[in-house]
Structure 1
Amino acid sequence: MVRIGTHNVNGIRAALRRGFHGFWSKANADVVALQEVRCRVADLPAGAFGAYHATLDTGHLAGRNGVAVLTRTPPARVRSLTDTVVSVDAAGATERPAERIVNRDLAPFATEGRYVEVDLADAPLRVASLYLPKGAAWPYEEGTEEKYLRKMRFMKGLARHLTSSRRDAAADGREFLVMGDFNIAHSKLDLRNWRSNQKSEGFLPEEREWFGSVLGPRRMVDVVRDLHPETDGPYTWWSWRGQAFTNDSGWRIDYHLASPGLARAAVSGFVGREDSYEERISDHSPVVVDYAVA
């Protein structure tokens, strides 16, 4: 059995103060994908990732973005949108060459710390951490066309990459798993107030259509939705403002998308929603799935 989780930490230093280690020590996951690490390597607190080995792409935008995959042992292979990532373990941080993902639509995002994938050394899996741009509600909001188009371009490139990487992983005898913050609620089950958000970024018709296009019995499978087919949510993000968390007025925007073989191996999954507003680690809660993989 392999336990795998994903967590948008909304800043690793703040998350550490709020209980990051407590949750993941108890969860005892074998692999954890992180998004919005939002910290330069030089500013990482000592022991930030505990006993895990971290493969980290911080990007070049100070205080923004940053993705990582935490594993028990150093990965066998690393791919990213750039040529270099950072390996962090108990001995410290070192740069590591990465295989650059060649994709004309993803290339403009190479310095933003939005995607990294690894081949595990101790299981036949390829695992990726994704932080998809938030986008904008253009044309419903004036002056937001550029942000809207950037997200659409990233999505276009990502769809192609998911297909190519899944096929490449299969040729190597591996299943493929992409986790992270997609900034899209796919269906009406994936956000509480869907009626009032039909012109909001993250629930635009074209975003939802794109999300559906990458899913399928021979493409990628939304694992948590497969495990909870008729459930509202389980939500993964709530605004810090107002009573959204208390009233569970959330969005499900953090996903495990798995190749079909791995999806069939999913045994159980849950969102680690904190018991109270005061105990929140981030504005996102972790999503954890157990897979029956040796």
Structure 2
Amino acid sequence: MTQLTPVPSDSVPGEGFAVASFNVNGIRAARRRGFDDWLDRRQPDVVGIQELRCGTDHVGQFPGYVAAVDVGSVPGRNGVAVLTRREPVAVRTWAATPPRARGLGEFAAEGRYIEVDLADRPVTVANLYLPKGGLPAELQRPGSMREKPDGGAKHARKMRFLTGFARELQRSRLTALRAGREFLLIGDLNVAYLEYDVTNWRAARKMEGFLPEEREWFGSVVGPRRLVDVVRRLHGDRPGPLTWWSWAGESFAKDVGWRIDHQLATPGLARRAVSVTVDKESSPDRRLSDHAPLVVTYADLD
């Protein structure tokens, strides 16, 4: 486990609560590799899980937690869950209540978004697995891609999602604030925002996840009066902390990766962020996923 040095903040002292975001790349595989041991050792108060990649009957139980789940309708793909210590006051999924923003309808049944109102704190936690996307047609080069060129179809689909989700996110954030709740978006956003977020950022400028239009979108949803990039606020303007490394080659061992897992909080909650940790395993053979858990500790709200 790699412990990042906690960064002092202007948080209110208190017991606090820890929120983890973890793309498990298949919950059954992650559990075989030791997910339950990590959960028992780490003991976060809230856990957002992405890429369950299984049906409801195979998600399983998580001792000490209540699980709100949307596995989606695509077999073996996607799926999100939020684990909490107490039964949430409310749970909202796109499967039960389709998103209102134009352009998101085609994604509603895919198991990409779930939102819970915590029972023990005035916080709404939203958990997102954003489409990976692809390259626009003009950047696709046959023979130099892992996947068959698609004329930019996956890129266009991701951009439709981003456009619609920006509107939906704004609506959810304001709804929470009007209800007297802070709002926290966690998850695998499949977008790295700054040069600090990618090891080889110059080469990444022509890769999905770090394209100019994707980074521009990220910049449009964060800001001091909207949502704050909590991890960057704590970690500062320096490389990392990385959360994803390719399974291939020696990316993990050499720490060549990306920061695509995020926690974006309303300003009131962001000010209470105390520390950030990425639970990167000690060696490649101990990996639970191609992502590592991202854990942020917040001082309790007044």
Residue segments in structure 1 that go unaligned for 5+ positions in a row: 84-98
Correspondence for 2:170: 163
1:64-213 equivalences under 5 Å are 64-83=77-96, 99-139=97-137, 140-141=139-140, 142-213=149-220
Q: Which amino acid aligns with 2:79?
A: G
Q: Which amino acid aligns with 2:298?
A: Y
The match for 2:42 among 27, 35, 44 is 27
Correspondence for 1:233: 240
Please give the per-residue CA displacement for 1:118-164, whole angstroms capped at 9, x wherever unaligned.
10111100001100000111121142421111100111111111211
Question: How far did residue 270 of structure 1 move?
Answer: 0.9
Instruction: Supply the distance in 2 between the matched residues of 1:144 and 1:136 (Cα, whole angstroms).
Output: 10
Instruction: Supply the distance in 2 between the matched residues of 1:154 and 1:270 (Cα, whole angstroms).
Output: 29
Correspondence for 2:72: 59
RMSD between aligned alpha carbons? 1.1
Question: How far did residue 200 of structure 1 move?
Answer: 0.6
Instruction: Supply the distance in 2 between the matched residues of 1:102 and 1:7 (Cα, whole angstroms).
Output: 27
Task: State the secondary structure of the residue aligned to 1:135.
Answer: coil
Q: Which amino acid aligns with 2:95?
A: T
Question: How far did residue 105 of structure 1 move?
Answer: 1.6
Question: How far did residue 284 of structure 1 move?
Answer: 0.2
- Relative contact order higher in (CA < 8 Å, ≥ 6 apart): 2
Could you list the structure 1 runs, at least 4 aligned residues long, displaced by more than 6 angstroms after superposition: none
Residues matched between the structures, number: 277
CA contact (8 A) 1:79 1:100 kept: no
Correspondence for 2:267: 260
Question: How far did residue 62 of structure 1 move?
Answer: 0.4
Instruction: Supply the distance in 1 between the matched residues of 2:223 and 2:230 (Cα, whole angstroms).
Output: 12
CA contact (8 A) 1:77 1:118 kept: yes
Residue segments in structure 2 that go unaligned for 5+ positions in a row: 1-15, 141-148
Q: Classify 1:75/1:144 alpha carbon distance in 2 versus 1 (closer, same or farther; 3 Å).
A: farther
Structure 1 position 217 matched with structure 2 position 230: no
Instruction: Supply the distance in 2 between the matched residues of 1:100 and 1:182 (Cα, whole angstroms).
Output: 20
Comparing 15-24 and 233-242, the one that deviates more: 15-24
Correspondence for 1:89: none
TM-score (ref. length: structure 1)? 0.92
Task: State the secondary structure of the residue aligned to 2:177.
Answer: helix
CA contact (8 A) 2:99 2:108 kept: no
CA contact (8 A) 2:23 2:49 kept: yes
TM-score (ref. length: structure 2)? 0.89
Task: State the secondary structure of the residue aligned to 1:170.
Answer: helix
Please give the per-residue CA displacement for 1:199-242, whole angstroms capped at 9, x wherever unaligned.
11001000011101101011111100000112211000000000
1:13-52 equivalences under 5 Å are 13-45=28-60, 47=61, 49-52=62-65
Q: Identical aligned pairs, as a percentage?
A: 54
Q: Which amino acid aligns with 1:7?
A: F
